[in-house]
Amino acid sequence: MSTALPDQVLRGAYKEGFHDDIKALRKVAKGASHEVVDYMCDVKNEPDWMRQFRHRSLDLFLKQDLPAWMPGLRDIDYDAITYYMSPVDKSANRWEDVPEDIRRTYDKLGIAKEEQKLLGGLGAQIDSEMAYHNIQESLAKQGVVFLSCDDGLKEYPEIFKEHFAKSIPPEDNKFAALNSAFWSGGSFVYVPKGVKCDIPLSVYFRINAEQFGQFERTLIVCDDDSFCHYVEGCSAPVYTTHSLHAAVVEIFVKDRARCRYTTIQNWSTDVYNLVTKRAFLYKNAVMEWVDGNLGSKRTVKYPSCYMVGEGAHGEILSLASADKGMWQDAGAKLVFYAPNCTGRINSKSISGHGGRASYRGLVQVNEQARNCRVQVNCDALILDPVSRSDTYPVMEIDGDLATVEHEASVSNVSEEQLFYLMSRGVKKEDAVSMIVNGFIEPIVKELPMEFAVEINRLINLQMEGSVG
């Protein structure tokens, strides 16, 4: 099998790799400093507790070392990064009020205004700040709150403070500390008791600046018996330098509520994507992470469900595609603190053109979590001999009567499958694409339609010339 594929084919395939000249209204000097923290607190006009929290987080970040198992991040030059930069000073809630040059960028990305019609709400972040955030009137009338995280802090200080950094404290890991120090933008979502928000709330994150750090923070609270589906997408220009994306997403799914969080990560291969995502599940709550990783230079991300209430169900569907120059260290965590809970992880990865995909998973059943059931499936498809796949599953089971199933498989595109499809007149490249798309189908079918189409398109582009 030949693996030769010219660089420009892949570069050309990443249609989001352009950058626009957008004037920064606010910009700080490079480097992670306490001065930057103070500047941000000043321009954002934040309460003192947040200022203290940011400073404390920065100290933690500077002090903390990388865990030994997290390789491939040593060459990040933190001093070369700009930690806060924004072309806007406020989030508009009418598309016409978004500055024209930013609208142009979003038009090119296809985040057209029309898309709002299919959505319960739409948010658009560029660099450090949300340029746009709006929610459908019908949802707003029912009390659904969908704001930038900064506006959430201002307008709903009590709900905000009650939950903020409670599932992911800055002590959790180096990048959670980094985010806690410099967080800006992201979403604040509150769904009141019993309200079903059945059309998705969608947010698009765009990095436009070079050597930049984007640290959005998202806080979602689904109150008792409510439902919401939050969808996020992202992209960045192709430069020759590196950028950093270190987000923190905290979700609280209260009694009997259900939340689904869908991510289609499509960063350019300039971006280090180091994200902490965690949901707390209360009594009989349901949380579903649908996590698609298609881009970035390096992704370190393990969406987690912490079952803190009895009878909760946590589910993580993870899809990673590692193309040339990428290392997707994706996975999932299920942590059980309460009895009679269930959890499921379904992970699929594809690696080609020398890309590397790793599954890193944790299933932890604590002593008080009796009678829990867990099912883990992870399947890897390796397209050529220069690509790589690893699996690092960790299981810590202390609770009684736990049922834990773990299945893993590694496969190639088989000669027999190719021959079978080709014997029906299907061209080889179409046959490969069919097999690969079939492999990820169990996850893709969970995605909203337009995302499913986009994923299939991206995967097909990445697969071009990878088997042959």
Partner 1 sequence: MADTFEIQGLHVNIEDKPILKGVDLVVRKGEVHALMGPNGSGKSTLANAILGHPKYTVTGGKILMKGESLLEMDTDERARKGLFLAFQYPCEVPGVRQSNFLRLACNARAGRELDVMEFYDKLGQKMKVLDIDEKFMKRYLNEGFSGGEKKRNEILQMMMLEPEFAIMDETDSGLDIDALKVVSRGVNELRGPGLGILIITHYERILRYINPDFVHILVDGKIVKSGGSDLAAHLEEHGYDWIIKDAEPVSAPAKGR
Closest contact distance (angstroms) between CB of 388 and partner 1 is 23
- Which positions from 398 to 427 touch partner 1 by CB under 8 A, shown as an x/- string? ----------------xxxx-xxxxxxxxx
CA 434 – CA 441 distance, rounded (Å): 10
Q: Cβ atoms within 10 A of the Cβ of 48, count?
A: 8
Three-state DSSP string of 397-448: ECCCCCEEEEEEEEECCCHHHHHHHHCCCCCHHHHHHHHHHHHHHHHHCCCC
Q: With CB under 8 A, what is the number of residues at the site for partner 1?
A: 24
Enter the DSSP assignment of 204.
Answer: E
| 467 makes contact with partner 1 (CB under 8 A) | no
| 337 makes contact with partner 1 (CB under 8 A) | no
Judged by CB under 8 A, which stretch of 239-247, 296-304, 359-367, 436-444 contacts partner 1?
Answer: 436-444
Largest CA distance in the chain: 70
- Amino acid identity of residue 432, one-letter, is V
Give phi and psi for 179, each to the nearest 5.
-60, -45
Interacting residue with partner 1 among 437, 448, 450, 456 (CB under 8 A): 437
Interacting residue with partner 1 among 294, 440, 458, 463 (CB under 8 A): 440
According to DSSP, the residues that pair with 230 across neighbouring strands are 201, 261
Interacting residue with partner 1 among 32, 109, 434, 461 (CB under 8 A): 434
Choice between 219 and 431, CB closer to partner 1: 431
Of 46, 63, 65, 80, whose CA–CA distance to 213 is shortest? Answer: 80
Enter the DSSP assignment of 107.
Answer: H
Q: Cβ atoms within 10 A of the Cβ of 96, count?
A: 8
Closest contact distance (angstroms) between CB of 347 and partner 1 is 15
Give phi and psi for 81, each to the nearest 5.
-95, 140
| 428 makes contact with partner 1 (CB under 8 A) | yes
Choice between 367 and 441, CB closer to partner 1: 441
Closest contact distance (angstroms) between CB of 423 and partner 1 is 5
Residues between 123 and 182 that touch partner 1 (CB under 8 A): none
- Sheet containing 286-293: order of strands: 129-135, 121-126, 196-206, 227-235, 258-265, 286-293, 313-322, 342-351, 373-382, 403-411
Choice between 404 and 434, CB closer to partner 1: 434
Interacting residue with partner 1 among 161, 442, 460, 461 (CB under 8 A): 442
Choice between 427 and 457, CB closer to partner 1: 427
Closest contact distance (angstroms) between CB of 434 and partner 1 is 5
Closest contact distance (angstroms) between CB of 1 and partner 1 is 11
| 439 makes contact with partner 1 (CB under 8 A) | yes
Closest contact distance (angstroms) between CB of 464 and partner 1 is 17
| 457 makes contact with partner 1 (CB under 8 A) | no
Residue tagged 């002593």 (tokens): 367
Closest contact distance (angstroms) between CB of 346 and partner 1 is 13
CA 81 – CA 214 distance, rounded (Å): 10
Residues that bind partner 1 (CB under 8 A): 414-417, 419-428, 430-431, 434-435, 437-442
